[in-house]
Amino acid sequence: MYRYFLFFNVTDIPGRDNKLKCKFTTKWGEMDVSQMLAHCSSFQDIAMGYSLPPRVWLGILIGKFAKPIFYNDKPLDHNMSTIPTILITSKKDFEMEREKLKQKIIIFLKNGPEACTNHSHPFFGKLTPEQWGKGIFKHLDHHLRQFGV
């Protein structure tokens, strides 16, 4: 499998993901663990080009200046705003959402950088496949840390 564009440790996320339990409580934010998994799955859809949310007006104004936040080596801040189309508020099934996310990660890895979307990120704008890969890892890491994993 192609490693997440040289940034994603293939063994890291699935191992951490397997430690999640449906009763875990959040350290920050409002989503429960099942909603978080659905949120991360929806974000994978954006990176793979399955979902094409429009650019948000604030992102058009400042996205290119803030873009390094998405792919630099610093962890994402707590309670950052999210893309409105992937804000999950409905009840979700934990096991189903965990399996869905795992499958999307596997597909993303198998497809490699050439299959990464050419569509702009809704806030940060145009990203290279490597920037998408690093950003996806940071996003998943952020939400796993949100639940202590």
Q: Could you state, in order of their start, the residue ranges of all structural domains in the chain?
A: 12-146
Q: At what angle do helices 33-47 and 129-146 cross, to 10 degrees?
A: 180
Provide the pLDDT for residue 10. 44
Poorest-pLDDT segment among 17-21, 89-93, 105-109, 135-139 = 17-21
Q: What is the mean pLDDT of residues 74-89?
A: 90
Residue 30's closest CA among 76, 80, 77, 68? 80
Asked if pLDDT for residue 139 goes beyond 70, the answer is yes
Model confidence pTM above 0.85 = yes
Burial class (CB within 10 angstroms; exposed 0-12, middle 13-18, buried 19+) of 80: exposed
Contacts of 138 (CB under 8 A, 6+ apart): 70, 71, 75, 76
Q: Residue 108: in which H helix or E strand, if any?
A: helix 94-111
Spatial distance between the Cα atoms of 67 and 45, rounded to a whole number of angstroms: 19
Confidence of residue 18 (pLDDT cuts 50, 70, 90): low
Spatial distance between the Cα atoms of 115 and 109, rounded to a whole number of angstroms: 10
